[in-house]
């Protein structure tokens, strides 16, 4: 292996002394326990961490694999896990600290959270007729009411499906219809960079024509004018104080669904990833404790948006399940300047800070020296998530933000895994830059050879798999069992048995550490957000002048990956004004998906490189986008000369 060995950074000794997992011996003991007695391991933690209304009678049922069941017979309510059980000890403790874009602040104690969530739950039940099992779409900005909405659904047994506020009306409509949601919870809008932006008008558009949605609840955040549709739209603030702050929690089975979250796959249609109650909340809490090692008086901040899985597990469910104080931030990290996060770390004495490599790269670029202007001495653990972090960004984060004393937990996981699966434990694992290191205890994560299903050799890229079901595993693709089986259990077998394949490639180093090398499928990772190339292609094809399109990822300095589209127009007489054509196509993408899917590069070509059977050779397009020399055999192409034509266009 020619790769230069990565340096190793040992955990901070002072920190390790009080950490939940203090050294590698303790880590190995946990992992050995799970390996030797898998069910015993999980039985122990499920009994210890969850306040059961009725105890479970079995740990894991694999009889209908891959449709597994965890903790059957057990009864609980996830909102009670996150709130009620803390009231004895933590009634006046801050559950959520909110900071708005413009610096407005709110501290919500556990008691206030209890009252707000119960009122919200009563409102959904009484006024909106939401019952156990109903789907509720949440299309909200980063305000505390988004968390109340999630927990209110959990309290009454409704299944929430959050749609990220950056998605367009079309994307929202698709998700509403797929989930057959009866209620949408939204806001008029919110603030970004001191200016109001709107959400309610997007909901209005998404509900045009036929829709399963009967009612819309609107939280007024920015006070801008919006349209109110009689008997459909209701004001949160007009109604909420009429509701009682006591709402009996629905008794839920361990395997009752908790939420859906749509994510991109390798087809044009997003998948409704389904997570169920007990296994998910157990893992959310355990990983909070192990990976961030949050202590009773700590203040923890994750900068994600509740519209993504990170916001679900590590802003709302995980921190609240363990009774922690979680910070919620409405704004953007670079406004009013790239010192904003560090100012907040100083002000709130943040102990654990968790963000995406894209944010780190931007903060590094725009504010290299900003961290030194603030007192960041409260920080103990720094986290990254969502995409590979490059060594220069890692170093800056470690040295300038963490003052070379904080552990960096490079947490690898996905929407489907519910919580972390590969990550350092901050008091135990010696870390290496840009390396997710080792499986979290209890997770049987292995890199397998794609052909043989054997464990991959050191230095050989293989498939990142999980070889045993884990409690927070995706349970289904909403309404599509076949897709669930095919998407995750179709590609890799170990000892003849289908195992969960993440879709990522990964490699072991000589210490057995895991480095994620990126997706092996047609999914690209833009600023830590998953985007299916097929989804973007389907959007571009809606432009009436587009005959064919192929979308690939291309390395991007800040976003990790950018979106590169090769477009063949219907009239093959050249493009009159390429700039206008790019704008027109991007406008279609904005309507169909949202700004997050806009193309960074677009090239018009007379044709695409295809095999004689008509398959587009994306590998060639990826190489061209990266500016690599084409080394692969192109003689099998229907028209090999197209490669040179496209190369010339890209390089011109
Ligand atoms: O490719 C991996 C990448 O993000 C994908 C999951 O995306 P999503 O479901 O949107 O969840 C993002 C937040 C968990 C993975 O399949 N990914 C996630 N974390 C890392 C990562 N790639 C490298 N290193 C990571 N730490």
Tens of pLDDT along 30-64?
999 999 999 999 999 999 999 999 999 999 999 99
Distance CA 314, CA 354 (A): 9
If one residue of 260, 516, 532, 596 were mutated to test the ligand 1 pocket, choosing by the most ligand atoms within 8 A of its CB, it would be 516
Residue nearest to atom 8 of ligand 1 (CA): 414
Residue nearest to atom 26 of ligand 1 (CA): 412
Give the distance (Å) from ligand 1 centre to CA of residue 499: 19
Residue nearest to atom 14 of ligand 1 (CA): 414
Give the distance (Å) from ligand 1 centre to CA of residue 197: 28
Radius of gyration of the CA atoms of the chain, in A: 24
pLDDT of residue 573: 55
Residue nearest to atom 7 of ligand 1 (CA): 414
pLDDT of residue 629: 86
Distance CA 652, CA 650 (A): 6
Q: Which residues of the chain have pLDDT under 50?
A: 1-2
pLDDT of residue 450: 85
Give the distance (Å) from ligand 1 centre to CA of residue 7: 23
Residue nearest to atom 12 of ligand 1 (CA): 386
What are phi and psi for residue 92, nearest 5 degrees?
Answer: -100, 10
Q: Which of 399, 327, 328 is nearest to 368 (CA)?
A: 399
Helices (H), 315-444: 318-321, 340-348, 357-366, 391-396
Distance CA 604, CA 600 (A): 14
Give the distance (Å) from ligand 1 centre to CA of residue 518: 8
What percent of the chain clears pLDDT 90, i.e. is strictly above it? 90
* Residue 96: strand pairing partners: 108, 326
Q: Which of 152, 165, 266, 146 is nearest to 524 (CA)?
A: 266
Give the distance (Å) from ligand 1 centre to CA of residue 439: 15
Helices (H), 430-480: none
Fill in the DSSP letter of residue 371: G
Give the distance (Å) from ligand 1 centre to CA of residue 386: 4
Strand pairing report for 105-109 and 94-99? antiparallel
pTM, full prediction:
0.95
Fill in the DSSP letter of residue 230: T
If one residue of 260, 390, 413 were mutated to test the ligand 1 pocket, choosing by the most ligand atoms within 8 A of its CB, it would be 413
Domain boundaries defined on the chain: 523-651
Residue nearest to atom 4 of ligand 1 (CA): 386
pLDDT of residue 572: 58
Give the distance (Å) from ligand 1 centre to CA of residue 310: 10
Give the distance (Å) from ligand 1 centre to CA of residue 415: 8
211 and 95 in contact (C-beta within 8 Å)? no
Residue 133 Cα to chain centre, angstroms: 23
Residues contacting ligand 1 via CB (< 6 Å): 263, 309-310, 385-388, 410-415, 436, 502-504, 516, 519, 525, 530
Go through the chain and tell me how many residues it has: 652
Give the distance (Å) from ligand 1 centre to CA of residue 1: 26
Cα torsion angle, 72, 75, 80, 85, sign: negative
Question: The domain 523-651: what is its CATH number?
Answer: 3.30.300.30
Cis peptide before 533 (omega within 30 of 0): no
pLDDT (tens digit per residue) in 241-297? 999 999 999 999 999 999 999 998 877 789 999 999 999 999 999 999 999 999 999
If one residue of 312, 414, 466, 522 were mutated to test the ligand 1 pocket, choosing by the most ligand atoms within 8 A of its CB, it would be 414
Give the distance (Å) from ligand 1 centre to CA of residue 412: 6
């Amino acid at each position: 292996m020619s790769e230069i060995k990565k340096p190793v950074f040992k955990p901070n000794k002072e920190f390790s002394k009080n950490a939940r997992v203090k050294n590698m011996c303790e880590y190995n003991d946990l992992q050995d326990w799970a390996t030797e007695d898998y069910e015993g391991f999980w039985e122990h933690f499920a009994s210890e961490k969850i306040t059961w209304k009725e105890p479970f009678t079995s740990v894991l049922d694999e009889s209908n694999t891959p449709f597994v069941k965890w903790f059957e017979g057990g009864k609980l309510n996830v909102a009670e896990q996150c709130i009620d059980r803390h009231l004895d000890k933590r009634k006046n403790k801050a559950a959520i600290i909110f900071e708005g874009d413009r610096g407005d602040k709110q501290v919500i104690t556990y008691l206030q959270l209890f009252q707000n969530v119960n009122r919200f739950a009563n409102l959904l039940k009484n006024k909106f007729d939401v019952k156990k099992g109903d789907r509720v779409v949440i299309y909200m900005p980063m305000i505390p009411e988004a968390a109340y909405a999630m927990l209110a659904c959990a309290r009454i047994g409704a299944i929430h499906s959050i749609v990220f506020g950056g998605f367009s009306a079309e994307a929202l409509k698709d998700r509403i219809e797929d989930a057959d949601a009866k209620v949408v919870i939204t806001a008029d809008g919110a603030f970004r960079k001191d200016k109001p932006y709107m959400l309610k008008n997007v909901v209005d558009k998404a509900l045009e024509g036929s829709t399963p949605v009967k009612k819309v609840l609107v939280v007024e955040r920015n006070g801008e004018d919006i349209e109110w549709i009689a008997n459909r739209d209701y004001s949160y603030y007009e109604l909420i104080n009429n509701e009682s702050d006591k709402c009996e929690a629905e008794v839920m089975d361990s395997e009752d669904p908790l939420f859906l979250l749509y994510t991109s796959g390798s087809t044009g249609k997003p998948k409704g990833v389904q997570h169920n109650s007990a296994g998910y909340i157990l893992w959310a809490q355990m990983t909070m404790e192990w990976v961030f090692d949050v202590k009773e008086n700590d203040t923890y901040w994750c900068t994600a948006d509740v519209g993504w899985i990170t916001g679900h597990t590590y802003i709302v469910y995980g921190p609240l399940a363990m009774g922690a104080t979680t910070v919620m931030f409405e704004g953007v990290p670079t406004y009013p300047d790239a010192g904003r996060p560090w100012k907040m770390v100083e002000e709130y004495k943040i102990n654990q800070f968790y963000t995406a490599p894209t944010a780190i790269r931007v903060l590094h670029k725009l504010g290299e020296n900003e961290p030194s202007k603030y007192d960041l001495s409260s920080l103990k653990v720094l986290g990254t998530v969502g995409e590979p972090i490059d060594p220069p960004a890692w170093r800056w984060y470690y040295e300038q933000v963490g003052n070379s004393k904080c552990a960096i937990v490079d947490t690898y996981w996905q929407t489907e895994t519910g919580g972390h699966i590969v990550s350092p434990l901050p008091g135990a694992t010696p870390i290496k830059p840009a390396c997710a290191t080792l499986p979290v205890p209890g997770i049987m994560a292995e890199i397998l050879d794609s052909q043989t299903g054997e464990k991959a050799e050191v230095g050989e890229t293989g498939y990142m798999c999980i070889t045993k079901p884990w409690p927070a595993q995706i349970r289904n693709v909403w309404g599509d069992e076949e897709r669930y089986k095919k998407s995750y259990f179709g590609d890799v077998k170990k000892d003849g048995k289908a195992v969960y394949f993440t879709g990522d490639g990964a490699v072991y180093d000589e210490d057995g550490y895991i480095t994620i090398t990126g997706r092996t499928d047609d999914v690209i990772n833009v600023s830590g957000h998953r985007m299916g190339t097929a989804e973007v292609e389907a959007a571009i094809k809606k432009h009436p002048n587009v005959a064919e399109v192929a979308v690939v990822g291309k390395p991007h300095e800040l976003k990790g990956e950018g979106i590169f589209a090769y477009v063949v127009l219907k009239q093959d007489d050249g493009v009159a004004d390429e700039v206008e054509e790019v704008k027109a196509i991007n406008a279609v993408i904005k309507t169909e998906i949202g700004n997050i899917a806009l193309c960074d590069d677009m090239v018009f070509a007379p044709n695409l490189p295809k095999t004689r059977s008509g398959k587009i050779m994306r590998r060639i397009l990826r190489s061209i986008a990266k500016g690599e020399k084409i080394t692969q055999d192109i003689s099998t192409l229907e028209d090999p000369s197209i490669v040179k034509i496209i190369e010339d266009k890209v390089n011109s």
